[in-house]
Every structure is written in structure tokens, then in C-alpha cells.
């Protein structure tokens, strides 16, 4: 029995979609356990690009089953659109994709509230994706959410939506902006009707995911859990309040699907060979100069979900050491190493300095992250490596860069990605072995 949890170990956008696609051929299941369509996982197969926001990245492998666990927040309209896009590409999803009855729905008022709150925060905004993620999770925790299981009953959906909008409409009225106005009666009816209809059309996908996965595990099937976002965006362990609204760490793979924690056998962290972040929040190694621009262009660092330019910076081993610890990462996948090819030298942040004190661990108080200064160790650069397919064929400086990371973090490197396409990588360890 082997199940692997794949988590982003920075602020998301580490290239997890490609890695899931790489490992999916060895798995029976690929399962999402948190987040929603704030994620954007890009897959390139034979030059054809597919961007998935909600459907697990294993879907392009015909023999793999996919599941969306109870911990995910589901925008049913986005799900239907994504399934339509996949059908247009000839991908069969029915009978292969299972969506938990326990997953909470993102409804149009969650999106409106997300955008209204961001507008109200002004310069203090979080920089959310505007997809309604936070408000949907709020309703879940406050025990007033609408779940997939509710869609079969129009009266129930109608009651839940109206109950919620009684309060929300009053809040939206306070915002008093044309884009964020309260919902009218006609809009309420439309939301209810549309979601009941979506529920009918999507019904073949709805399932008891926990039970299916449990039976799968009992039968010796291999599960790959596909984390979204990254450890530093975790609601509890990330750079709060500049985080997403779910637990992105590996342990949530159990809660977010209904399996026991002993079913999670290993954790692989995915890290980019440098650092990026979208949205606001502290970022000690950020490069606000032309070098940041060089990385953004070379790495095509624009959000797959919102198209926003990503903030770019050097590798931060202090942050990674923290992520490795809280997510229980034993193996790492390093992505986009090719993007660094051609740079004369590669500064790596090995410590922070705060008020004249050097520290190699994340600060106890997350607010200090705004004040820390990175301490760099400079590694020599290496030439283009996009065509390399074996670790031994990497230039010595690239191998040194990887060894330096592995030694500093006490992990094994399982895979190195040197391009966006399938096969553009070098595998060192089989994660399911
Ligand atoms: P939310 O998840 O839309 O509420 O956004 C909260 C924060 O998480 C913002 O800084 C977003 O930019 C960030 N975020 C959410 N999803 C992703 C992702 O998939 N990749 C990178 N950042 C993300």
C-alpha cells in the first residue's frame, strides 16, 4: 500500500500540476483535498496546454480515477465548464471522476463578497484570486454552507440560500458599490434554479469519496493526493493573514478526504528552483529590480488563474526548512531549474537577519517576516539545461545547487523538472517505491 501526498512547499505555483501528471501513470487515484478553483494547474502534453482549476491533474491519464474530496470547495459552474473543456479534448470523465457529497459549494454570493471585501480593504487587501474561496470556507465553518449533497433537494437549497442572503445582503448593502450590491429576488431564484439544474447534470459524478478511497486502499490501490497552493499559504501555518482559507499542509489530505492519517504513507514537497508569490504578504527574498523581471520573463511567471504577474525572488532556504517541517516533507521535487540557466550567479538565502541577530529558522512571530533581511550565499550559475535528461549530465554547478538544497533541508531530491512538457525532467527516486 502506498499513498503519496504532494504539497507545494512555497507560496503555490511550484508546478505541481506537471508533477502530478508525471506520477499519475503510477497511481490508481489522483485526489484533491483542499482549495478550489483558486488553483491553476498547467499541463502540457505533446505541446497541447491544459489548465485545470478544479478537476485533479490525473484526469489526462485514462486509467486513473480522480476524486474531489470533502475538503475542497466546489464552484459547480466551473466544474461543469471544466468537464466540457475536457470533453472537447476527447477526455472521458464520467465513471472516472468522483465528487464528494460532503464538499461545500462556492456560490455567486461568495465571489461577490470576496471582491467586495478586497475592495473595502484597499491597500490592505490580501490579493485573493476573487473566486469566493474565503467566504465559502467561512460558511462551512459557521455551519451555514450548502453542500453537494444538498443539491438534490430544491427546497433545501432555496432555504439555505435565502437564510444566508438575509444577512449577506445587509452586509453588501453597507459596501454600497455597483459591482457589489445586494442580490435581488430574481437573482436569488436564478442562483437556486441554476444550481439545482447543475446538480442534476453533475449527479453522475457525485459520490461517497471517503468510502471509495477506503475500499481502494483496502484493495491495494495507490493514491496520489494533489495539494493546491503551498505550505506558506496554509491558514494555520502560513504567512497569516496573507494566506488562503484552507489547510494546505499534508495532514489535511486525511481530513479533506475522509481517510485516516495512517493511510498517508509519504509526503513529497514540490519547490521551484527560485521563489514566487502572487497576492500580497511578506516575501523576504523578493527581487524588485531587473533580475526579478528576468526571472518573471524566463519562467513565464504569470498566474494560471488570474493572469497576475507573480512576484519573483531568490530561493529561500529558511522558508523551505519551515515548510519541510510543518508538512512532514521527506522528498522534494525541484521544478523550473532550467529557468535559472544562463544566470551568472545564484544567491540562495541561508538565513535571515533581524535586529542584528542571525536566524536560520522562521521567526516565531510571523509579523517579523516583514522586517527580516535575507543573508545570501552565492552559488555559481550554470548554462542552459533544458535538453538534459539524466542527473549525471547536468553541469556540475547545477548538481551542486541541488545538493546544497538537499543538504540544507535534510531531504532527498526525487525529481528535477527542466521544462514544462511531459518527460522534460530527470527522475532520481520513484515516489511509490
Ligand atoms: P484566495 O485563495 O483566493 O482566498 O487567495 C488568498 C491568497 O492565496 C492570495 O495571495 C492568492 O494569490 C493566493 N493563492 C490562492 N490560490 C493560489 C494558487 O493556486 N497559487 C498561488 N497563490 C494562490
104-204: CATH topology is Adenylosuccinate Synthetase, subunit A; domain 2 (1.10.300)
The single residue listed with the C-alpha cell 434554479 is 193
Query: How far from the centroid of its chain's Cα atoms is residue 335's Cα?
Result: 15
Residue 384: DSSP 8-state: -
377 forms bridges with which residues in the sheet?
A: 348
| pLDDT score recorded for residue 174 | 85
| pLDDT score recorded for residue 42 | 85
| pLDDT score recorded for residue 44 | 86
- Cβ–ligand 1 distance for 239 under 6 Å, the answer no
Residues 6+ apart with CB under 8 A from 26: 222, 430, 431, 432
Bond preceding residue 100 cis, omega within 30 of 0:
no
Mark the ranges of the chain whose per-residue pLDDT is less than 70: 1
pLDDT digits (tens, 9 = 90+) for 32-49: 999 999 998 888 888 899
Task: Name the residue with the closest Cα to ligand 1, atom 12.
Answer: 279
Task: Name the residue with the closest Cα to ligand 1, atom 2.
Answer: 244
Task: Name the residue with the closest Cα to ligand 1, atom 5.
Answer: 128
| 29: its cell numbers | 487515484
Question: Is the separation of the CB atoms in 5 and 227 below 8 Å?
Answer: yes
pLDDT digits (tens, 9 = 90+) for 318-345: 999 999 999 999 999 999 999 999 999 9
CATH of domain 3-93+209-427: 3.40.440.10
DSSP readout, 159-185? HHHHHHHHHHHHHHHHH--GGGPPPPH
Q: How far is CA 215 from CA 63, 312, 317, 389, 407, in A?
A: 17, 43, 39, 38, 39
| pLDDT score recorded for residue 60 | 94
The single residue listed with the C-alpha cell 461517497 is 208
| pLDDT score recorded for residue 97 | 98
| pLDDT score recorded for residue 68 | 98
- Cβ–ligand 1 distance for 39 under 6 Å, the answer yes
Residue 181: DSSP 8-state: P
| pLDDT score recorded for residue 1 | 57
Q: How far is CA 250 from CA 33, 316, 410, in A?
A: 9, 20, 18
Query: How far from the centroid of its chain's Cα atoms is residue 52's Cα?
Result: 11
Residue 153 Cα to ligand 1 midpoint, Å, equals: 32
- Cβ–ligand 1 distance for 126 under 6 Å, the answer yes
Q: Nearest-CA neighbor of 5 among 405, 316, 432?
A: 432
| pLDDT score recorded for residue 180 | 85
- Residue 41 appears among annotated catalytic residues: yes
pLDDT digits (tens, 9 = 90+) for 241-278: 999 999 999 999 999 999 999 999 999 999 999 999 99
Q: Parse the chain into domains and list their residue ranges.
A: 3-93+209-427, 104-204
Instruction: Pick the catalytic residue from 21, 28, 41, 425.
Output: 41
Please state the atom number of ligand 1 nearest to the C-alpha of residue 131: 3
Instruction: Pick the catalytic residue from 13, 75, 114, 234.
Output: 13
Choosing from 244, 275, 282 the residue with most ligand 1 atoms within 8 A of its CB, the one to mutate for a pocket test is: 244
pTM: 0.96
- Residue 195 appears among annotated catalytic residues: no
| pLDDT score recorded for residue 307 | 85
Separation CA 174–CA 117 (nearest Å)? 11
Amino acid at each position: 500500500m502506498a499513498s503519496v501526498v504532494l504539497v507545494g512547499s512555497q507560496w503555490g505555483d511550484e508546478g505541481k500540476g506537471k508533477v502530478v501528471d508525471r506520477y499519475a501513470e503510477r497511481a490508481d487515484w489522483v485526489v484533491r483535498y483542499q482549495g478550489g478553483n483558486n488553483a491553476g494547474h498547467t499541463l502540457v502534453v505533446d505541446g497541447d496546454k491544459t489548465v485545470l482549476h478544479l478537476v485533479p491533474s490525473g484526469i489526462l491519464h485514462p486509467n486513473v480515477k480522480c476524486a474531489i474530496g470533502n475538503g475542497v470547495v466546489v464552484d459547480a459552474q466551473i466544474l461543469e465548464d471544466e468537464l466540457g473543456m475536457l470533453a472537447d479534448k476527447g477526455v472521458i470523465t464520467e465513471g472516472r471522476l468522483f465528487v464528494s457529497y460532503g464538499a461545500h459549494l462556492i456560490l455567486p454570493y461568495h465571489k461577490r463578497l470576496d471582491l467586495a471585501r478586497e475592495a473595502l480593504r484597499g491597500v490592505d487587501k490580501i490579493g485573493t484570486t476573487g473566486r469566493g474561496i474565503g467566504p465559502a470556507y467561512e460558511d462551512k465553518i459557521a455551519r451555514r454552507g450548502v453542500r453537494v449533497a444538498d443539491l438534490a433537494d430544491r427546497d433545501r437549497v432555496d432555504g439555505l440560500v435565502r437564510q444566508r442572503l438575509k444577512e449577506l445582503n445587509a452586509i453588501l448593502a453597507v459596501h454600497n458599490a455597483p459591482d457589489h450590491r445586494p442580490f435581488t429576488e430574481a437573482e436569488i431564484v436564478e442562483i437556486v434554479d441554476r444550481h439545482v439544474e447543475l446538480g442534476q447534470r453533475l449527479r453522475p459524478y457525485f459520490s461517497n469519496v471517503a468510502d471509495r478511497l477506503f475500499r481502494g486502499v483496502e484493495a491495494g490501490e495507490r493514491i496520489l493526493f494533489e495539494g493546491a497552493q503551498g505550505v506558506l499559504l496554509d491558514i494555520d501555518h502560513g504567512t497569516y493573514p496573507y494566506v488562503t482559507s484552507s489547510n494546505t499542509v499534508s495532514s489535511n489530505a486525511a481530513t479533506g478526504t475522509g481517510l485516516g492519517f495512517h493511510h498517508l504513507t509519504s509526503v513529497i514537497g514540490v519547490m521551484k528552483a527560485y521563489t514566487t508569490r502572487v497576492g500580497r504578504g511578506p516575501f523576504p527574498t523578493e527581487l524588485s529590480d531587473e533580475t526579478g523581471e528576468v526571472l518573471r520573463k524566463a519562467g513565464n511567471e504569470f498566474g494560471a488563474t488570474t493572469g497576475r504577474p507573480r512576484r519573483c525572488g531568490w530561493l529561500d532556504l529558511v522558508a523551505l526548512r519551515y515548510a519541510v517541517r510543518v508538512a512532514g516533507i521527506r522528498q522534494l521535487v525541484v521544478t523550473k531549474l532550467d529557468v535559472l540557466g544562463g544566470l551568472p550567479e545564484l544567491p540562495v538565502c541561508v538565513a535571515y537577519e533581524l535586529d542584528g541577530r542571525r536566524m536560520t529558522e522562521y521567526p516565531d512571530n510571523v509579523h517579523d517576516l516583514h522586517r527580516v533581511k535575507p543573508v545570501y550565499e552565492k552559488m555559481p550559475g550554470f548554462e542552459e539545461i533544458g535538453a538534459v535528461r539524466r542527473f549525471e549530465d547536468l553541469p556540475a554547478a547545477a548538481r551542486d545547487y541541488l545538493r546544497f538544497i538537499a543538504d540544507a533541508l535534510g531531504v532527498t531530491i526525487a525529481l528535477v523538472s527542466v521544462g514544462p512538457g511531459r518527460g522534460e525532467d530527470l527522475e532520481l527516486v520513484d515516489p511509490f517505491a
